[in-house]
Amino acid sequence: MNKKSIEIWVGLFVLLGLGGMVFLALKAANLGQFSANSNTYTLYARFENIGGLKVRAPVRSAGVTVGRVASIKLDTSRGAPYMGEVRLEVSQDMPFPIDSSAQILTSGLLGDQYVGLEAGGEETNLKAGEVIKQTQSAVVLEKLIGQFLFSKAAEAGSKK
């Protein structure tokens, strides 16, 4: 092989590598599912603490991804001020009863956070734009460790 053909093959190999990196980046950023043109409906959930939840995080029910987090903002206008309001885009194929609950969960011990939806037992389903009433905020690991250490310190102080 001459020098020019080797350079062409190296160039193709580099382009193939860059294409693979772009593909992996899109997969890691969760940009492959639930695009803007898919059939979804909007639900809202309000949490006292959203922890490390991010936009585009999955919405899962029974471990199956049924939607994405569309936006997160601080809600100061309604009855319970200063709560995190999360807008969820859920697949039209997945109706949830009006007494469903939402909670912020973590994948594994230190994994990414996602919204878990647990279906209720009512026959009437949530409609687009409605608010999920029953929510459970994220468990913040630092807060949990602080409470544990504080309780152990209080036990040690009461034994003396």
Could you give the CA distance from residue 57 to residue 28 in angstroms, rounded to a whole number? 11
Find the mean pLDDT for residues 33-57: 82
pLDDT digits (tens, 9 = 90+) for 75-118: 877 666 788 899 999 999 989 999 999 999 988 777 788 999 99
Q: Which domain holds residue 9?
A: 1-32
pLDDT of residue 31: 57
Same structural domain, 7 and 46: no
Same structural domain, 127 and 102: yes
The residues near 97 (Cβ < 8 Å, ≥ 6 apart) are 119, 120, 121, 122, 123, 124, 125, 126
Same structural domain, 26 and 46: no
- Side by side, which strands form the sheet with 101-106? 131-132, 40-47, 83-91, 64-75, 58-61, 113-118, 101-106, 134-136
Same structural domain, 62 and 134: yes
* pTM beyond 0.75: no
Number of domains in the chain: 2
Same structural domain, 101 and 66: yes
Same structural domain, 109 and 140: yes
pLDDT digits (tens, 9 = 90+) for 119-156: 988 999 999 999 999 998 887 777 778 888 888 888 87
